[in-house]
Amino acid sequence: MLVGLYRGQIRGKRNFLNMNMFVHILSSRITMVENKRITNPLYLKDYTLLDLNDFRKKSDVSCYIIDVDGEKKVAVSGSLSLEKDADSAQVVYILKIPSMYNLGDKSFKDEYNTRCSYYAGGMAHGISSANLVIALGKNGFMGSYGSGGMSLDDVKRDIDNIKKELPMGPFIVNFLHIPNNDKIEFDFVNALIEKGIKVIEASAFIDLSPALLYYRISGLSKSNDGKIGSERKIIAKISREEIAIKFMSPPDLSTVNMLLKNNLITREQAELSLKYPIADDITVEADSGGHTDSRPLVSLLPSIIEIRDAMQSKFKYDKVVRIGAAGGISTPEAALCAFSMGASYVVTGSINQACMEAGTSDYVKDVLSKVTMADVAKAPCADMFEMGAKVQVVKKGTMYPLNAQRLYDIYIKYKSIDEIPEIDKNRIEKNYFKASFGEIWEEVKKFFTEHDPKQLDFANKNPKFKMALIFRWYLGNSSRWSISGDENRKMDMQIWCGPSMGAFNNFARGTYLEDVKNRKVSDVATAIMEGCAHLSFNNTLKRLGVKNLANYEFKPKDYLWNLDEIIEMTANSMSKILGPRYKKIDQYRIRARLPLPPFLFVTRVTKIDAEFGKFKPSSIEFEFDVTNDCIFTVGDQMSHIVASEASHIGIFLVAYMGIDEISNGTLAYRIVDTKSTFYSELPRVGETFKGIFELKTFLKQGPTTLVIFNYKCFVGDRLVLMIDAIGGFFTKNDLDGSKGIIEAPKKNANVVDEKMTYYKFGKYKESYSKEDLNLFYDGLLEDANLSRENFFIDESIRQIDRITHLSDTGGKYGQGQIIAEKDIDENYWAFKVHFVNDPVFPVSLIFEGINQIIGFLILSNIICDTCKSQETKSFEPLKNITTKGSFRGQIRPSKCTITYKIYFKKFDKNDKDGPYCIFDADVYCDSTHIVKIEDLSVCLDGK
């Protein structure tokens, strides 16, 4: 994270340096001098300080720590200089604000095709469900499917579902050790190999079983350069040093020979296995939910890392075994602790079962969301009951920990069920089993007859083992009751959980994640990893003495993607943010993209209901913060085109759904027809508007795909705008071959009967030059209805160069008409942002041009002349009037003239809306008619 420490001299002749040059100088030409006077310090000019509100938006960018009047502050831009002036500040450090994507070991992300050094560990009985794993994978995170305790048929079914949704991953399948049962393990491994599972998470192993070694060794091979590798990866979850050593060592020779003798591996694989570790990664599991040795991470993790280093020194493997951390990882602080101690990655557990996608009951999720760190206890576990192994579970609201411990105590004390005192038998039957010992034994026999008859044979010979199987019935079913949410068994539920659940609940308190109904597993992952990155930076600032940001409190974001992530997906890589399934799409030069700033009117995406590869009705919600930085604001008023153009979020929605994959990057998006209606006043600077885009229908016509959608824009609960429209994805031939608007000839002229009922044109000229218009654009009209302070149009979005014709008569409706023009060429700025690699002039700028024409007429008092005396503060679209638009051409980068022909339809005034006008417009690119708009409107004040 620390890019460079400025503590010495820069030797060079240039006074101003860019960031890349400076970083290079830091690495190659600075003499480090500690505790000595700096003879040639470095200065920063024209800098911008990092603001708290922008803090989380600046990840993965470099910043400067500067000294401003003796106080250290953080700047995010500026010009570096070797010379000081009155406006410059001395540079103390240059840092890179960490990103969650850069935490941990990059090789872990690369090998498993995940965007973060993080995964969600497997929880047995499908608590780590297929849905949970899929949800993580679709957001670029990796999850481990909890196969333990599941039937093989259910495991196969869930694996098929996961692979269907995540054909490129990332995901893992958990392999939970079953002691002394090689057959079940081999059946499981054969199913994994049959299904093409390349990564497993091996957990609860007390020794390396033959089935596990078969999975590993049968995937070994040697590359052309002589290095050994395996197509099947193992992430081993351990909590003991002796087990870690076994996973980091070559396999036992006797087991290798057994596998070779049974033709399960080749001789070459047998030889290679003696030079290769069993695990690619070791997850060090400290105190955790479920099976745990309750060891503290701060002691266990460094110990395993030290062992790894010793094993690597001994065996000199081609690839070093990575060490990750699990157990108690539920907050940004815990994750940062693990990374700081050298963990290559982190793993979460208990907290994921309180997420929406977890395969457990809503009752359990609600219980977990209220757990504190003191609400957990140790209790005997079902799978290793006789060994005295324990799991960590919730004790609040359930009697399971006490009941399970009582059963274990009885098992230790007595040799058979017959020896148990009647008072204890009755208590067990009434309170624990809710059935007799005989009835439970019949259920046990039925189960093992189907799954493992040998257990029954042994139980018939060994009364104590029979007692253990009966007691294990209760322990095993207790977890199933919690998963199913059995109302009658709430006091018997076994809910695996560690104290980390309480820590996460503390972290989530006061945020949207406090409500369990909002807890999505990918949001939890993002909150921990993003928070870890910010906490790391915050701690660095504290050490450097920066005060203005050092107490920044990170809270989980209540959105899916922020502006920086949206821009990354638009300009560069979708897969970096959304995960590996989008890598193929990243390769396409032409693909569905949003525009870039300043034409991007999306600050954050808050909700999406869509699936990759499923082209069905879907929706997306977003927000846009209206600020003075938006060039489409006049005074404190936002242009109406921002509210309407923001509907381009639909392009992102279909890109998210994978439209480019089915088109192989051959189709480009264009709008076709729109019907838009404004219902209330436009947003103002300082407000945030919310957009809801609903994709209703897909229509396939040859290679072309049409989309029918509805879009609504709100400020709070107030509906501002609604659009019903048709857009389409077209081939290059379709777009280049468009002949524009083709209208059928009409027999009778379309004349509006209504004449101007309120206003007449004031004094006007038949044409206006660019100089005339610049007075309007610069807010310099002497008698304008709007003050100069409230009206100024940025030069970059001035859409009219001249008005060639103005008349208060004629036109389609006999009410007057205007003809205006705008000259552009291939270098016009809009082509650079709309869209990347598919430049086309934005339709919304055409609407802005029309808006500016009418604005000029209003502010010049050419129309609405009798309104001179009233205080007019803004003009907006007329409410409840539906505007229709048809778009049948495109303006590509070239030297051309855009011509606007506007036909006035009606002028009037009413008490509700004030003075207004309604008009139609035709727009031409040179001689081609490309846009037809009906019933556009402007009303003064819009109130």
Catalytic residues, which ones? 834
What are the two backbone dihedrals, phi and then psi, of residue 201, each rounded to the nearest 5 degrees? -110, 110
- Nearest in space to 350 (alpha carbons), one of 117, 122, 558, 556: 122
Contact indicator for 334, 498 with CB cutoff of 8 Å: no
β partners of residue 768: 803
Task: Residue 288: name the closest of 252, 329, 323 by CA.
Answer: 329
Counting Cβ atoms within 10 Å, is residue 214 exposed (0-12), middle (13-18) or buried (19+)? buried
Both structure tokens of 268: 């070459």
Gap between the Cα atoms of 244 and 255, Å rounded? 18
CB-based contact 898:847 (threshold 8 Å): no
**Long-range CB pairs of 25-33, under 8 A, 24+ apart, other chains included:** 26/94, 30/4, 30/6, 32/5, 32/7, 32/8, 33/7, 33/8, 33/9
How far apart (Å, rounded) are the C-alpha atoms in residues 906 and 915? 11
With the C-alpha atoms ordered 410, 413, 417, 418, is the resulting torsion angle positive or negative? negative
Q: What angle do CA 93, 95, 99 make, to 5 degrees?
A: 165
Alpha-carbon dihedral angle through residues 500, 502, 504, 507, given to the nearest 10 degrees? -140
Q: DSSP H helical segments within 316-462, as ranges?
A: 332-340, 362-369, 400-413, 422-427, 437-451, 453-461
Buried b (16+ CB within 10 A) or exposed e, 376-415: bbebbbbbbbbeebbbbbbbeebbbbebbebbbebbeebe
Put residue 55 in one of left, alpha, beta given phi > 0 → left and psi -120 to 50 → alpha.
alpha
Distance CA 852, CA 841 (A): 17
Distance CA 921, CA 928 (A): 14
Q: What are phi and psi of 82, to 5 degrees?
A: -90, -5
Task: Report the alpha-carbon distance of residue 902 to residue 936 in Å, rounded.
Answer: 10
Say if CB 649 and CB 602 are below 8 A apart.
yes
- CA dist., res. 247 & res. 249, Å (int): 6
3-state secondary structure of 705: strand
Q: What is the DSSP string of 647-675?
A: GGHHHHHHHHHTHHHHHTT--EEEEEEEE
Q: Is the peptide bond before 302 cis (omega within 30 degrees of 0)?
A: no
User: How far are the Cα atoms of 382, 397, 478 from residue 402, in angstroms, in the given order?
Assistant: 14, 12, 13
